[in-house]
């Protein structure tokens, strides 16, 4: 049926990303975190341009300034909400129940709708700042509608001990996709939630076997040891479901009626990237930390008057004591921050980039000749950017 299909190529080396991620992480620390808005912007530019459907890279047009502004606005709103809301909760909780547990619980519950709201707003901002072939993406504003739907779906999923998760995944994806546009063309999520069932069997196997084992555990606690493999299966099932739903849902998406998509990410490949990427990053970090600690002690020993005895060396060392103290403290702080910087940077180059490449390179666009009909859409000013997501510290990766 497909007349013309576009393959997706990928670009971007680890080395190039390392330079960018390392420099911007450093700037983030030096500016006490302010630069993180620009860091995010630059990393996104890189990641977006690494995905090239039909050889034309995606483009990210967001700016650091608008992210900072959005964050400021969100902080004011959240400061009001959290400050005043917490205060009233605390008062009510102590007045009526003589305890603050209810206040903490309510304060947590109160943030949940904002969490989903913020997620949708962040998506809106990101899509509005994404272009391909010079054409903007976009999503209709529907953050509160999304938030309450998401909460109801979560409730249903939790109430059924996770059995309705595929249904939740499908309907929330459909809600988002059906409101997403590429230029003048609309996306559409076809199909139904039951098409996720064939890829959900390891997940169901894990959940059902865990439930049975817990039931048997009431009779004989030894059965509970069986939870170790059954929970592992459920965990694998969850990853399998999330990776393969990208393929299944992708195949049922349409753009402008007839433009179709194909994706074929591999669960094992994703697992391998997560596992070995993190292991490798941890390994490099451990070696770096060992060398740093070694240098720290060499430095400390060389300048410590206790170890050098009497004589001119000791005198020099004595005069350096204050300097040494300050130096060691500075080195300690430096080490602490370096650890987090390097962990973040290594995570970008060994996990995020390979994952992105893997998902992207399996992506195909069918009937791509129909793309030429699509026209530009207006700019979504949306000055708040993803401030709420930033303020709540979600959507951390990129």
Partner 1 sequence: MTGLAFGDFMDGGSARVQRVALRLDPPEHPMDLELALPDGTATLRWPLSDIRHLVDQAEPGAVVLTRSQHPMQRLITDDAELIATLSDLAPDYSAPLPAPGMVKRLLGLGTAAVASVALIIFVLIPVMADQLAAMLPASGERALGDSTLEQIREALSDNDLFPIRTCQQPDGLAALAKMQARLEPATDFPYPIRLHVFDHEMVNAFALPGGHIILFRGLLEDAKSPEEIAGVLAHEMGHVEHRDPSRLALRSAGSIGVLGLLLGDFAGGTIVLFLAEQLISANHSRAAEAGADDYAHDVLSQSGLPTTPLADFFQRLYDEYGEETGLISHLASHPNLAGRADAARDADQTGGAYETVLSDAEWQAMRRMCR
- 57 binds partner 1 per the rule CB under 8 A: yes
- 55 binds partner 1 per the rule CB under 8 A: yes
- DSSP states of 3-34 as a string? S-EEEEEE---HHHHHHHHHHHHHHHHHTTTT
111-140 residues in contact with partner 1 (CB under 8 A) are 132-135
Q: By CB under 8 A, how many residues form the interface with partner 1?
A: 63
C-alpha to C-alpha distance for 9 and 133, rounded to whole angstroms: 15
State the DSSP H helix or E strand holding residue 138, giving kind and residue range, or none if neither: strand 135-139
Q: Which of 30, 76, 152, 279 binds partner 1 (CB under 8 A)?
A: 76
Cβ proximity to partner 1: between 10 and 308 the closer is 10
- 86 binds partner 1 per the rule CB under 8 A: yes
Tally of residues, the chain: 398
Q: How many CB atoms lie under 10 A from the CB of residue 94?
A: 13
Cβ proximity to partner 1: between 84 and 232 the closer is 84
Whose tokens are 């993803």? That residue is 386
C-alpha to C-alpha distance for 263 and 247, rounded to whole angstroms: 5
Nearest approach, Cβ of 170 to partner 1 (angstroms)?
28
- 68 binds partner 1 per the rule CB under 8 A: yes
Q: Which of 8, 35, 50, 150 binds partner 1 (CB under 8 A)?
A: 50
- 90 binds partner 1 per the rule CB under 8 A: yes
* Strands of 364-366's sheet in order across: 51-53, 5-10, 364-366, 259-262, 253-255, 185-189, 180-182, 135-139, 130-132, 59-60
- 347 binds partner 1 per the rule CB under 8 A: no
Nearest approach, Cβ of 44 to partner 1 (angstroms)?
9
C-alpha to C-alpha distance for 118 and 112, rounded to whole angstroms: 10
Cβ proximity to partner 1: between 68 and 317 the closer is 68
C-alpha to C-alpha distance for 36 and 135, rounded to whole angstroms: 27
Nearest approach, Cβ of 341 to partner 1 (angstroms)?
14
Q: Which of 79, 197, 279, 334 binds partner 1 (CB under 8 A)?
A: 79
Cβ proximity to partner 1: between 169 and 371 the closer is 371
The contact mask relative to partner 1 for 172-201 (x = CB under 8 A, - = no) is ----------xx------------------
Instruction: Measure Cα distances from 161 to 203, 206, 243 in Å.
Output: 12, 12, 21
C-alpha to C-alpha distance for 144 and 119, rounded to whole angstroms: 11
Q: Which of 4, 30, 31, 65 binds partner 1 (CB under 8 A)?
A: 65
Q: Which of 5, 26, 29, 73 binds partner 1 (CB under 8 A)?
A: 73
3-class SS at 398? Answer: coil
The contact mask relative to partner 1 for 228-267 (x = CB under 8 A, - = no) is ----------------------------------------
- 215 binds partner 1 per the rule CB under 8 A: no
Which window, 87-95, 146-154, 205-213, 261-269, contacts partner 1 (CB under 8 A)? 87-95
Give 304's contacts (C-beta < 8 A, 6+ positions apart): 317, 324
Q: Which of 374, 380, 382, 395 binds partner 1 (CB under 8 A)?
A: 374
C-alpha to C-alpha distance for 241 and 226, rounded to whole angstroms: 22
Strands 364-366 and 5-10: antiparallel
Angle subtended at Cα 68 by Cα 64 and Cα 72, rounded to the nearest 5 degrees? 170
Residue 110 φ/ψ region, left for φ over 0, alpha for ψ in the -120 to 50 degree band, beta for the rest: alpha
Angle subtended at Cα 227 by Cα 224 and Cα 232, rounded to the nearest 5 degrees? 170
Which window, 88-96, 241-249, 306-314, 315-323, contacts partner 1 (CB under 8 A)? 88-96
Question: Could you list the residues that contact partner 1 (CB under 8 A)?
Answer: 11-13, 16-17, 20, 33, 42-43, 45-47, 49-50, 52, 54-57, 59, 63, 65-66, 68-69, 72-73, 75-76, 78-80, 82-88, 90-91, 94-96, 98-100, 103, 107, 132-135, 182-183, 371-376, 391, 393
């Amino acid at each position: 049926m497909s007349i013309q299909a576009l393959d997706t190529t990928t670009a971007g080396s680890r080395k190039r990303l390392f330079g960018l991620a390392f420099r911007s992480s450093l700037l983030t620390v030096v500016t006490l975190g302010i630069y993180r808005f620009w860091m995010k912007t630059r990393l996104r530019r890189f990641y977006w341009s690494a995905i090239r459907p039909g050889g034309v890279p995606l483009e990210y047009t967001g700016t650091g300034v608008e992210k900072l502004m959005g964050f400021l606005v969100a902080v004011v709103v959240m400061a009001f909400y959290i400050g005043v809301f917490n205060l009233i909760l605390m008062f009510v909780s102590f007045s009526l129940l003589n305890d603050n547990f209810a206040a903490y619980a309510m304060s947590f519950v109160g943030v949940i709708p904002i969490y989903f709201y913020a997620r949708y707003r962040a998506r809106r901002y990101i899509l509005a700042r994404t272009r391909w072939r010079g054409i903007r993406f976009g999503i209709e504003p529907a953050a509160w509608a999304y938030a309450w739907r998401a909460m109801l779906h979560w409730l249903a999923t939790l109430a059924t001990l996770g059995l309705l998760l595929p249904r939740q995944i499908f309907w929330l994806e459909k809600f988002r996709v059906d409101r997403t546009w590429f230029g003048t063309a609309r996306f559409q999520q076809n199909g139904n939630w039951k098409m996720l069932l064939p890829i959900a069997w390891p997940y169901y196997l894990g959940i059902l076997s865990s439930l049975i084992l817990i039931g048997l555990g009431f009779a004989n606690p030894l059965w509970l040891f069986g939870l170790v493999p059954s929970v592992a299966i459920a965990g694998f099932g969850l990853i399998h479901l999330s990776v393969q739903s990208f393929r299944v849902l992708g195949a049922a998406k349409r753009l402008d009626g007839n433009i179709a998509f194909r994706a074929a990410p591999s669960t094992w490949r994703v697992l391998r990237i997560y596992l070995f990427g993190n292991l490798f990053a941890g390994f490099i970090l451990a070696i770096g930390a060992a060398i740093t600690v070694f240098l720290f002690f060499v430095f400390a020993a060389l300048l410590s008057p206790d170890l050098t005895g009497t004589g001119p060396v000791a005198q020099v060392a004595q005069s350096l004591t204050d300097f040494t103290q300050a130096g060691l403290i500075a080195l300690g702080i430096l080490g602490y921050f370096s650890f987090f910087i390097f962990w973040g940077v290594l995570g970008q180059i060994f996990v995020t980039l390979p994952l992105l490449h893997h998902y992207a390179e399996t992506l195909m666009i069918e009937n791509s000749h129909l793309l030429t009909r699509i026209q530009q859409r207006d700019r979504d000013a949306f000055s708040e950017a993803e401030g709420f997501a930033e303020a709540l510290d979600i959507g951390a990766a990129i």
